[in-house]
Amino acid sequence: MRTPRVLALALTTMALISACSSGGGSSTAPSAAAPSTAPSVAASVAPSVAASEAAKAPIKIGSDNFYESKLVAEIYAQALEHAGYTVERKFGLGSRQERIPTMDAGQVDLVPEYVGSGLGFYAADKITGDGEANKTALQAALDAASKNITVLGISPGQDTNAFAVRADDATSKNLKSLNDLAAIQDTLKWGLPSDCDTNPLCAGALKKYGINYPPKQRQALGACDVPMATALQNKAIDVAEFCSTQPAIAQFGFTVLTDDLKTQPAENLAPLVRNDYLAKVDKTAFAAVLDAVSAQITTQLLTTMGVAVAVDQKKVEDVAKDFLTTQGLLN
């Protein structure tokens, strides 16, 4: 489950591209000091060019040590490079506990964050099922902790905890949401993580739907691991708890049940950026590049890209480029 790991996942217009990546000469000398030849176009626009280039300080981008975090970090990196920024990649920093001190020390300027889990690291009691609310609360928590970090726009897509069933069962038993499991709960074999008993996002969530805990038939399996997916596919279990963008969901065509009561935290993605880096650049233009990218990251695309990386073994950089190209972000 993603939340237990809290404590342990079109550039908008061509005009924006021009504003972020214009280049040219840097001379600001007055024409009287110029040679006898006609002044160049570069010289005539030098002040604005110099301002533009100064607003594109090199940036160090980090990530946590799992594929989805690295993938989203690479997507942000390529988008910024396309906009004219020089990017140094420092991916695979470790878990959140390891990554946060690295960012605090200024060794990286930007990382992708899951706003629910990120908030949970600082204020677990503030987590909600609303992505924008979690973003706002995360920003407040970062400010309260004097982290000097800004949370940029969130993606519509998220990777949170999700309960799923096989597609054939979803059809034959008319299963669409967690509500639908209550009436048939005793006939089902449940795959649940070993910490479900004490986890309010597992046992607590099921109880809110009228599902008696513990279920009569259950197996303890890792929520985001291969054995859980294998057990569901092979009918050793009928209900499984996953991370919502787990590649196995798309790979095997599982049906994710709707969480009508919003018992799980919203885990939309957003870039965290150090304020001292933002002070070096045109913050509005910089944020516009990343906000345009985040706006195209859906849960479905995160899942599809996860299959490409984790199942098809494609390179992260190639999958990131395909995403940016398909979404028209490299035009």
Q: What pLDDT is attached to residue 198?
A: 85
User: Is the distance from CB of 316 to CB of 70 less than 8 angstroms?
Assistant: yes
Query: Among 39, 79, 43, which Cα is nearest to 59's?
Result: 79
Query: Among 48, 8, 7, which Cα is nearest to 27's?
Result: 48
Query: Among 61, 62, 93, 67, which Cα is nearest to 80's?
Result: 61
Query: Among 158, 65, 76, 153, which Cα is nearest to 114's?
Result: 158
Query: Of 24-33, 91-100, 137-146, 174-183, which gets the smallest average pLDDT?
Result: 24-33
Among 218, 236, 256, which residue terminates a domain? 256
Please state, in angstroms and as integers, the Cα–Cα distance from residue 308 to each residue in 113, 217, 219, 305, 318, following that order: 21, 34, 29, 5, 10
Residue 5 has pLDDT above 80, yes or no: no
CB-based burial of residue 86 (10 Å sphere; 0-12 exposed, 13-18 middle, 19+ buried)? exposed
The rounded distance, in Å, linking the Cα atoms of 213 and 190 is 11
Residue 21 has pLDDT above 50, yes or no: no
Average pLDDT of the chain is 85
- Sorted by sequence, the CB contacts under 8 Å of residue 33 that are 6+ apart come out as none
Residue predicted with more confidence, 195 or 325: 325
The rounded distance, in Å, linking the Cα atoms of 243 and 179 is 19
Q: Do residues 185 and 213 both lie within one domain? A: yes
pLDDT in tens, 49-103: 444 555 899 999 999 988 999 999 999 999 999 999 999 999 999 888 899 999 9
| Domain count within the chain | 2
Residues 91, 57, 288, CA angle at the centre, nearest 5°? 80
Whether residue 308 is contained in a domain is answered as yes
Q: Can you tell me the mean pLDDT for 25-30?
A: 29
Residue 139 has pLDDT above 50, yes or no: yes
Q: Do residues 151 and 276 both lie within one domain? A: yes
Q: Do residues 318 and 285 both lie within one domain? A: yes
Residue 319 has pLDDT above 50, yes or no: yes
* Residue 33 pLDDT class (50, 70, 90 cuts): very low
Q: Can you tell me the mean pLDDT for 205-230?
A: 92
Residue predicted with more confidence, 299 or 41: 299
The rounded distance, in Å, linking the Cα atoms of 140 and 138 is 5
Q: Do residues 61 and 152 both lie within one domain? A: yes
Query: Of 127-141, 156-170, 198-212, which gets the smallest average pLDDT?
Result: 198-212
Residue 295 has pLDDT above 60, yes or no: yes
Among 256, 287, 316, which residue terminates a domain? 256
Q: What pLDDT is attached to residue 54?
A: 52
* CATH number of residue 288's parent domain: 3.40.190.10
Per the structure, the complete domain to which residue 110 belongs is given by 4-9+57-158+266-326
Whether residue 41 is contained in a domain is answered as no
Whether residue 261 is contained in a domain is answered as no
Residue 309 has pLDDT above 60, yes or no: yes
User: Is the distance from CB of 126 to CB of 119 less than 8 angstroms?
Assistant: yes
Residue 143 has pLDDT above 70, yes or no: yes
Whether residue 125 is contained in a domain is answered as yes
Residue 3 has pLDDT above 80, yes or no: no
Q: What pLDDT is attached to residue 32?
A: 32
Tokens of 234: 């092979």
* Residue 223 pLDDT class (50, 70, 90 cuts): confident
